[in-house]
Amino acid sequence: MTLYEGDLRVPAGARFAILASRWNARITDALVAGARRSLADNGVPEDAVDVVRLPGAWELPMAARKLAGAGSHAAVIALGCVVRGDTRHYEHVADLCAEGLMRVALDTGVPVLNGVLAVERFEDAEARAGGSHGNKGEEAAMAALEMVNLLERLP
């Protein structure tokens, strides 16, 4: 049996993109800080990270496709926060954003990490942006590193 598993080693010259919505900025700023810290802590130089700000989560898949299609980034980390409101708008944005991000990854072969929080309450987002449930931006960045490494190893 052959076991393939990625680790957190950074390939030489690898660039990473962090896409972040401005909607719910207090949360997304914390997610971006966590992602940047995680990449830096694992040896990614600051000048190898591009941060792109977008209006909201809805726009993330389009920007992810543009960057992934250009071929200059080893992975794209998408960060945002969608909080349930009184209408179905939440479901449309959160579900279609996730579907779009997965489509970009599958269509381009570039890892696109979904760090978009889809939460019931703003307090739930705070818990996942550096609070009691950790920082999902940090976790998405670590998953990006691992996927880049794993994809280099797969036949």
- 89 as an active site residue: the answer is yes
- pLDDT above 90 for 120: no
Binding site membership: which residues? 23, 57-59, 81-83, 86-87, 114, 128
> Which positions make up the binding site for 5-amino-6-(D-ribitylamino)uracil?
23, 57-59, 81-83, 114
pLDDT of residue 86: 74
Calculate mean pLDDT across residues 17-33: 96
Q: Could you tell me the domains of the chain?
A: 16-148 (3.40.50.960)
In this structure, the strands spanning 49-54 and 112-119 are unpaired
Place of tokens 């598993």: 5
Residue-wise pLDDT tens digits, 34-56: 999 999 999 999 999 999 999 99
Residue 100: per-residue pLDDT: 97
Tokens, residue 80 = 């945002």
CA distance 26 to 115: 15
Of these residues, 73, 89, 92, 133, which one is catalytic? Answer: 89
pLDDT for 130 beyond 90 = no
In the chain, the percentage of residues whose pLDDT exceeds 90 is: 77
Compute the average pLDDT of residues 4-14: 87
Q: How confident is the model over 70-75, as a mean pLDDT?
A: 96
The C-alpha atoms of residue 118 and residue 121 are separated, in whole angstroms, by 9
- Residue 96 and residue 76: Cα distance in Å, rounded? 17
Binding site for (2S)-2-hydroxy-3-oxobutyl phosphate: residue ranges? 86-87, 128
